[in-house]
Amino acid sequence: MSASAPPLPSPQFDTRVQTIQSGNTILLRLPNGDTKAFKIDKDSTTSLGRLGLFYANDLINEPFGRTYDIVDKNLKIVPPLTLAEVEDTDATNELINDGEFVQPLTLEEIQALKQSGAHASEIIKMQIEQHANYSLKTEYSKEKYKKRKEAKYSKTFTTIEPTLFNVCDYWFKKDQSRIRDIRVDALSQMLNMANIRPGGRYIAVDDASGLVVSGILERMGGVGRLITVCDTDSPPSYPVMVHMNFKHETVAPVLSSLNWATAQADYIPISAPVDVPTEEIKSDRQQSRINKRRAASDLLHRTREELFAGEFDALIIASEYEPLSIVEKLVPYVAGSGSIVVQSPYVQILSDLHNKLRALPGYLCPSVTEVWLRRYQVLPGRTHPTMSTSGSGGFIFHAIKTYVQLV
């Protein structure tokens, strides 16, 4: 028996663009291994600092993941890096001493080479030729040397597809405190624990720059409902979403936001009237202002009604505020058997929550877990865990909402 391809639903829904478009903020991996975000605008040049400028149009409509060399502001596609076997030799560092004058190529000479337009590979080759101890090095050490030099002189970069994994990884390395230490393994577990799926209905509290909201929206794929509760007067800014490059259809039909005042059942909005008699409207501008106000007020009303109607599939929290106060406010709107997921960089906060909820009915199997992740360097003959790694990716509390129903 064999598998056959069923008629595929077409077109395939994509939460974000599949190729680079003007206006995107995309992640680029630079020769030194760093990843940085750059905005790509049609008919402009993008500056990569030391690497120089290039015409942004060269990236537009390109798929993500390709590697380019900057040559006179133009981009040349280069094949992806392949793993090279390194020959084992008998060389050791027995005769190599630190601090010796080994590199006769002076800074001035290198500058001159660069200005003459020499390719990075030529500069490196020249450095190697003049390096006093190069031949003494082991093949592994030679590799490392070349890699280090390449990071210095190469004008090559790689575009990074804005998958949830890549964006989370970028933010974690850039500023993990702004995403509340949510490492990608923790984010992945939170999304699975909360049973995020297309068509689900969720409540989220995201004080992690919108990383959690981005993850939920990505997994929902434009269907379902997500209500977030934030601590600001105006709609929340979720800066992580900028790097996801979501399509409008991924976000607009799904996401609505309330704040800690408007999410209260007894809240009464203090706002200017929207039902102005027509004879009092003096200008088009006033009319459009009233229309806008009415739309905002209607949206707020609808979102509140929707929250209070409850039966949400899960509650996901990554917040700087006291977790029990959030859980007590929002759990009434979670359906029976729904998941409650709370993330914190600190285990103490979650163990405290655990102890408090354990004493209350309606929370089945509360648990606190820690995430653990280890990346490896995978090179022929040189495979080992990376030497430095992140110490903590945060902690996760999970419980299932239940009803006491005795028959």
Between residue 158 and residue 177, which ones bind another protein under the rule CB under 8 A? 161, 163-165, 168
Q: Does 323 bind another protein (CB under 8 A)?
A: no
Q: Does 5 bind another protein (CB under 8 A)?
A: yes
Beta bridge partner(s), residue 16 = 246
CB of 257 to another protein, least distance (A): 22
CB of 361 to another protein, least distance (A): 8
Residues 115-144 that bind another protein (CB under 8 A): 119-121, 124-125, 128
Whole-angstrom Cα distance, residue 287 to residue 270? 20
Q: Which of 38, 151, 178, 221 binds another protein (CB under 8 A)?
A: 221
User: For another protein, which is the closer residue by CB, 5 or 265?
Assistant: 5
Q: Which of 76, 144, 173, 301 binds another protein (CB under 8 A)?
A: 76
Q: Which of 20, 24, 58, 340 binds another protein (CB under 8 A)?
A: 58
Q: Does 331 bind another protein (CB under 8 A)?
A: no
Whole-angstrom Cα distance, residue 25 to residue 171? 14
User: For another protein, which is the closer residue by CB, 199 or 269?
Assistant: 199
Beta bridge partner(s), residue 69 = 76, 156
Q: Which of 33, 49, 83, 99 binds another protein (CB under 8 A)?
A: 83
CA distances from 39 to 9, 27, 75, 171, 248 (A): 33, 9, 16, 16, 18
> Residue 144 — φ and ψ, nearest 5°?
-60, -40
Q: Which of 270, 380, 387, 388 binds another protein (CB under 8 A)?
A: 380
CA distances from 211 to 41, 270, 401 (A): 25, 31, 24
Q: Does 336 bind another protein (CB under 8 A)?
A: yes
User: For another protein, which is the closer residue by CB, 106 or 348?
Assistant: 348
CA distances from 376 to 81, 250, 398 (A): 17, 34, 29
Beta bridge partner(s), residue 76 = 69
Q: Which of 265, 272, 387, 404 binds another protein (CB under 8 A)?
A: 404
Q: Does 195 bind another protein (CB under 8 A)?
A: yes
Distant-in-sequence, close-in-space partners of 205: CB < 8 Å, separation ≥ 6: 228, 229, 230, 315, 316, 317, 318, 319, 321, 326, 330
Whole-angstrom Cα distance, residue 169 to residue 99? 37
Q: Does 33 bind another protein (CB under 8 A)?
A: no
Q: Which of 236, 323, 338, 394 binds another protein (CB under 8 A)?
A: 338
Q: Which of 46, 154, 245, 256 binds another protein (CB under 8 A)?
A: 154
Helix (H, G, I), strand (E, B) or coil at 216: helix
Count of residues in contact with another protein, rule CB under 8 A: 111
